[in-house]
Structure 1
Amino acid sequence: MTQIIDSLAEISESYDALLCDLWGCVHDGVRALPEAVAALQAFRAKGGTVVLLTNAPRPRAAVAAQIDRLGVPDDAWDTIATSGDAAREAMFRGAVGSKVYFIGEDRDDVFFEPLHLVEDPVKIERVALDRAEGVVITGPFDSHQPPEVLRPQLLDAKTRGLTMLNANPDIVVDRGDTREYCAGAVAQLYEQMGGSVLSFGKPHPPVYDLARRRMAEFGDPVPDDRILAIGDGILTDVKGGMLEGFDVLFVTGGLAAEETRTDRQPEPDALTAYLADQQMDPPFSVGKLR
């Protein structure tokens, strides 16, 4: 049964590295969360390594710039691993062909910038759906609209047998008090329609492989039993961390705040019921990262 803790400091001595989710844990899409920032700074001050592990469908440089604007200081983290970079590696290796139909917002154009990690990358051309060899999605065209509005395009893509490369497995996020749809919601609908999806980011292995490589830049590899995964997504952060064999700290006051009746801390019976329903049992839970 999960142990409800009051702060990261209660358990931090058992770990040398954190794989910490961003949205819902360190910021709310509008501003940094001061208690979370302080907890990460304290962990690093004692010699720990903090990898910000995010399902953002963008390169790490773009995410670093974003969190700087939101008020997350540089001394709260060491490196960043994004689902965007993991997906870009696959795309430039030709996972969905060279001619792709893109679903996403203009701000995610950086997804197509050159990636020097791939030797002899495939030259990617963005084309209309009727010319496409595959589909790349970083998010809906409009994050406030449900995935169903894209059903006509998805049906066309499925009929033509196109594989979708999903750069963000998140279903929804909360930007302040507003819930928005992510690429994962569209990919989920595509799969339900019979389409084929390649997903990158938590809970899928490629982004964890990337995180390990980024972590290794700071010294010797960290054993899995000395890594703590932190996140508020039960089917992304928690599931992914547990599948990788890491201990997990579930932040209940993010996406599952209502289900777990979280104010400062989750209501124990509600948390137990929620975890049973999701068939997850993370070792630790906390209302907010602090």
Structure 2
Amino acid sequence: MPRRITDLDQLTDRADVLLCDVWGVIHNGVNPFLLSVEALKSARARGQTVILITNSPRPANDVIRQFDTIGVDPDCWDDIVTSGDVTRRLVQDAPRAIYFLGPERDMPLVDGLDIDLVEAGAADAVLCTGLLNDEEETADDYRALLAGFQARGLPFICANPDREVERGDRLVPCAGALADLYVKLGGQTRIAGKPHAPIYIEAMARARALRGDVDLGRTLAIGDGVTTDIRGALDNGIDAIFIARGIHARQYIDGRSTDEARLNSFLDTAGVAPAYWMEWLA
């Protein structure tokens, strides 16, 4: 069972590098979590390096613009690696004729890439950043479209492996839900974001660029998603801190408090064993 901690500074001597999730840990898409921001600022002041590692399908510069809009203090991170950043490499290696499935706001993902964006019927590959209207649609609304792609054997590049995220006080589906459906239909996916290795390799490269040699044993990942943040960290040899008051909170929150027995049962059922857990990043 993970050890409960109440303050990130309890682990100052445990880690040199912190790989911290963004959505669900630092903000909910609408408002920043000020305690989390201050915790990361304090970690940096103590000499730890903070790399934000997010499944956002957009490049890091777009994430920074979102931070500016909602008020996330730029002093809480040293560098940012997004799923969009590492997915660009998958796109470069894919067939040239690509169908882009996602909202207009995610188009910066393909800026500068030598590809042709085409209609669905002319595509040799699919690049998915999310649903067109995630406030009203579900993955099943795309079943016929995806079945057509699968019948033609098109690779499905998923730029955001998250299945759902919190936006304010509600959950909305992400590209990961479409990728899951594509696999169920018999299709093949290509994914570089969490929990897959490419995003962790890039994050650790950024950490080494900032502080020299870095030991994975002196690195901690922080996140609220068991199938992405926690599974990804553990699969890549990194211990993790699970943030309980995130996307899975409904599974074990009893009134206003976390039922630790239910939390441990939830983690066990998910097949993950983070080293620590916290209510909030603080």
Residue 263 of structure 1 and its aligned partner are, at CA, apart by 6.8
In 2, Cα distance between the equivalents of 1:29 and 1:243?
27
Which of 190, 200, 221 aligns to 1:198? It is 190
Which residue of structure 2 aligns with residue 118 of structure 1?
none
SS at match of 1:218: helix
Which residue of structure 2 aligns with residue 120 of structure 1?
none
2:139 maps to amino acid? P
Q: Does structure 1 conserve the Cα–Cα contact (< 8 Å) formed by 2:126 and 2:154?
A: yes
Q: Does structure 2 conserve the Cα–Cα contact (< 8 Å) formed by 1:263 and 1:287?
A: no
Once the two structures are aligned, what percentage of the paired residues are identical?
37
Aligned length: 281
Which residue of structure 1 aligns with residue 90 of structure 2?
90
Q: Does structure 2 conserve the Cα–Cα contact (< 8 Å) formed by 1:20 and 1:53?
A: yes
2:121 maps to amino acid? D
Q: Does structure 2 conserve the Cα–Cα contact (< 8 Å) formed by 1:83 and 1:168?
A: yes
TM-score of the pair, normalised by structure 2: 0.97
- Could you report, residue by residue, the CA deviation over 1:134-183 in whole angstroms, capped at 9, with x for unpaired residues? 00000111112110001111011001100000011000001010211000
* C-alpha distance 285-264 of structure 1, shift in aligned 2 (>3 A): farther
Which residue of structure 2 aligns with residue 126 of structure 1?
117
Structure 1 position 2 matched with structure 2 position 29 = no
In 1, Cα distance between the equivalents of 2:277 and 2:211?
29
TM-score of the pair, normalised by structure 1: 0.94
Q: Does structure 1 conserve the Cα–Cα contact (< 8 Å) formed by 2:12 and 2:46?
A: no
- Could you report, residue by residue, the CA deviation over 1:44-72 in whole angstroms, capped at 9, with x for unpaired residues? 00111100000000111111111122211
Structure 1 spans left out of the alignment, 5+ residues: 116-122
Residue 266 of structure 1 and its aligned partner are, at CA, apart by 2.5
Structure 1 position 142 matched with structure 2 position 136 = no
Structure 1 position 103 matched with structure 2 position 101 = yes
Residue 251 of structure 1 and its aligned partner are, at CA, apart by 0.3
1:235 maps to amino acid? T
Which residue of structure 1 aligns with residue 237 of structure 2?
245
Which residue of structure 1 aligns with residue 176 of structure 2?
184
Structure 1 position 170 matched with structure 2 position 175 = no
Q: Does structure 1 conserve the Cα–Cα contact (< 8 Å) formed by 2:243 and 2:277?
A: yes
Residue 114 of structure 1 and its aligned partner are, at CA, apart by 1.8
1:131 maps to amino acid? A
- Could you report, residue by residue, the CA deviation over 1:4-25 in whole angstroms, capped at 9, with x for unpaired residues? 1112111222111100000000
Q: Does structure 2 conserve the Cα–Cα contact (< 8 Å) formed by 1:140 and 1:181?
A: yes
In 2, Cα distance between the equivalents of 1:262 and 1:39?
26
In 2, Cα distance between the equivalents of 1:262 and 1:204?
32
Structure 2 spans left out of the alignment, 5+ residues: none
Structure 1 position 23 matched with structure 2 position 30 = no
SS at match of 2:172: strand
Structure 1 segments of 4 or more deviating over 2 A?
A: 262-266
